[in-house]
Structure 1
Amino acid sequence: MDNIKRLEVDEFWADSTVIEAGDYVFVGYCMGNEGQSIEAQIEGAFCTLKNRLAMAGLKLDSVVKMDCLFKNISDLNYLPDIIKKHFNGKYPTRKAYTTDFIRDGILFQIDAIAYKGKAI
């Protein structure tokens, strides 16, 4: 398992928020701007995702899969315009879910998988 690198570890929650495994980077628990509007939280989550990808030397265009977690699924309507702004047509596959978050002020979170291998 030498090719698995845990780039960011949260000892309190006992998880890794960024793991590089072979040609892939797994990023979890991307949130930001807790307690603010859904638009601000989606933007904050993308900011966190960008920062975590940078730990592996990657940018958003390397993301191939995203899971988008919403407190209210009706907020999904805000997502496409924000994705278009950040991905410039290089969209990942994605799925949206609703969930109960651990704190009331959280409305949105992203988990993602990015490809780090050689260009095809």
Structure 2
Amino acid sequence: MTRQIIQTKNAPTAIGTYSQAVRVGDTIYLSGQIPLVPETMTLVEGDMETQIRQVFNNLKAVAEAAGSHLDQVVKLNVYLTDLANFSLVSEIMANYFSSPYPARAVLGVSTLPRGASVEMDAIIYLS
């Protein structure tokens, strides 16, 4: 199968040795997104809700660049430096996804790149 690299200026550029997303066949693997503002490559200013929304917006931009959308996500991984924000992620997620929701894991971690409080990655299956 052919590997297609997905890249868009509407999401933060990679801050390491990885691609924003890779498509192989009918599957798209979205790399982890932190709440960076694409235009400035700085963390979004604001509360945790603002940060979570920025991450979802970044994932959405990459999904759209791949010709897809968040409703086609089959697996979402969420990394939080404070698991007290678990319910906030769920609340905000309902604004970006509709039922049936993707499979999801939420993991508590000690640190994230650039001092972010949240990171998410996803897998899309194009049906």
- For normalisation by structure 2, the TM-score amounts to 0.81
Residue 16 (structure 1) aligns with: 19
Task: Measure, in 2, the Cα distance between the counterparts of 1:31 and 1:5.
Answer: 23
Identity of aligned residues (%): 23
Q: What secondary structure, in the 3-state scheme, does the structure 2 residue paired with 1:80 have? A: helix
Q: Which segments of 5 or more consecutive residues in structure 2 lack a partner in the other structure?
A: 37-42
Moved over 3 A (4+): 9-12
Looking at structure 1, the residues matched to 56 and 7 of structure 2 have their Cα atoms a distance apart, in angstroms, of 17
**What is aligned with 2:88?**
78
1:67-93 deviation line (CA, Å, top 9, x unaligned):
001011111120111111211223111
**How many equivalent pairs are there?**
115
Q: Deviations over 1:4-44 (max 9, x none)?
A: 11113967611112100111000012222525311111100
**Residue among 51, 74, 78 paired with 1:68:** 78
2:113 is aligned to 102
Q: 1:12 to 1:69 in 2, by over 3 A?
A: closer
1:7 is the counterpart of 2:6? yes
Q: Distance in 1 between matches of 2:20 and 2:35?
A: 14
SS at 1:85's partner residue? coil
Q: Over aligned residues, Cα RMSD in angstroms?
A: 1.9
Contiguous gaps of at least 5 residues in structure 1? none
Determine if the alignment matches structure 1 residue 42 to structure 2 residue 52. yes
